[in-house]
A and B are shown apart, each in its own frame.
Chain A
Amino acid sequence: MSTKSKAWGIAAAACLGIWLVENGSEPVTPPVPSAAEAFAAGPEQHTDAAADPLPPSAPVRLRIPKIGVDTPVMRLGLAPDRSLQVPPAGDSNLAGWYKDGTPPGAKGTAIVAGHVDNAKGPAVFYALGTLKKGQRVEVDRADGRTAVFTIDAVEVYENDAFPDRKVYGQADRAELRVITCGGGFTKKSGYQGNVVAFAHLIGVR
């Protein structure tokens, strides 16, 4: 009798073990924003009023306290296919700013991009997809000022349906985009999309 129950216990442990191994073998991809963080889920701008834009000055450091991001900011140009260049993949804590565009805090749309991961594992913007509306992004600038932004939305786009105008289009106020990879992943073609955080300037320190 007790032998029988022991046998059942062993069988149950074996089943649980198999399930754990199988479930654990499913690839885990970086977090993607929930539908609640998309523009469509609510008003485009919430209560935080837009601050007056600053004069242009290059960014040097970017912080997103809620997801523990504190990274230096390098300058990025464009690749021959006009896609935004990316920081060197080897450095897992480095973001880049599109240097021929608007500086963060100035009137227009400032573009910042960083890796979601590199060969070693998660990188600077791994948790970008967990950001929520109203959370803060701070950018230290070369002029000594810190531009403070609030998140308006976090959306994810398929690579072949990337909305250029929505992401890169110029704004009448000081806006910021933080871009990283996301969506599905296949070994053959890599990440299937981009996660984009939209923010606008609400203050200066």
Chain B
Amino acid sequence: MRTTARLLTGTALTVLTLGALAAPPAYADNHERADTTERTENQDRGENHERTDNHQGGDKKERLEIFPTTAAPGERITVNTTACGSGGHGIGDAQSLGAGDFQLSQGAHKEIVVGHFTVPHHAKPGTYSIAVACDNGRTAKGNLEIRHHHQGPSGHVRTGIGGSVGPDSTQIAAGVALLAAAAVGGTWLLRRRASGAQGR
């Protein structure tokens, strides 16, 4: 029984994730609507009603609150949502970062379900999508950013100003000396020629 339920929610999540990936942001709402039409009308109505309550900053998806929103490997993450309804239950999917599934159940507030998972130590830096499928058929999504806090420095090091970069002054000095000698020699030669011509 349990395995079947798990399988079903897993499939639902996959479908949802695929839909979300395939749909450009502008059509995301349409997709969710298509999703919901497969469910009973009652649930659909309920969702629409809740949705208007949840309109925050024009975001039409069910929101999944994730704490902290930026975490390092090994950190424990808490997620919560109102999508599952009062006294609801849901299954979260953190497979994108290799943390598997986790359960969400009613927390301190009746209308909010809460769940936890731990960021695996092998998780690479990046943004990961966390999804929750509620028993009432609704879903919520949110993003978690993984950063390696204790990774140490990053990027190149500014260890130079350029004071050693410059012309080769010895070579220039030698060149200038040669040019000066040539000028003196040339002048002397010309003068001698000039005076020789006059003497003739």
Contacts and interface: CB of A to CB of B under 8 A. Distances in A.
A149 interface: no
Interface string A126-156: 1000000000000000000000000000000
B197 interface: no
A125 B181 CA distance: 40
A119 B166 contact: no
B198 interface: no
Contacts of B194: none
Interface centre among B165, B192, B193 (most CB of A within 10 A): B165
B157 A179 contact: yes
A113 B159 CA distance: 7
Question: At the interface, is chain A mostly helix, strand, loop or mixed?
Answer: mixed
Interface in A98-134: 98, 100-101, 111, 113-123, 125-126
Contacts of B159: 86, 113-116, 125, 179-181, 191, 194
Nearest to B167: A25
Contacts of A78: 152-153
A83 B155 contact: yes
Given A117-B163, A191-B162, A83 B176 contact: no
Interface residues of B, number: 37
B155 A10 contact: no
Contacts of A29: 164-165
A23 B162 CA distance: 19
B190 to A, nearest CB: 9
B168 A28 contact: yes
A204 to B, nearest CB: 24
Nearest to A25: B167
B176 A17 contact: yes
A47 interface: no
A3 B193 CA distance: 9
B161 A20 contact: no
B174 interface: yes
A20 B174 CA distance: 7
B68 interface: no
Nearest to A24: B171
Interface of B: 151-172, 174-183, 185-186, 189, 192-193
19 contacts: A10-B186, A13-B185, A14-B182, A14-B183, A17-B176, A20-B178, A24-B168, A25-B167, A26-B167, A30-B160, A81-B155, A83-B153, A84-B157, A101-B153, A123-B160, A159-B155, A159-B156, A190-B162, A191-B162
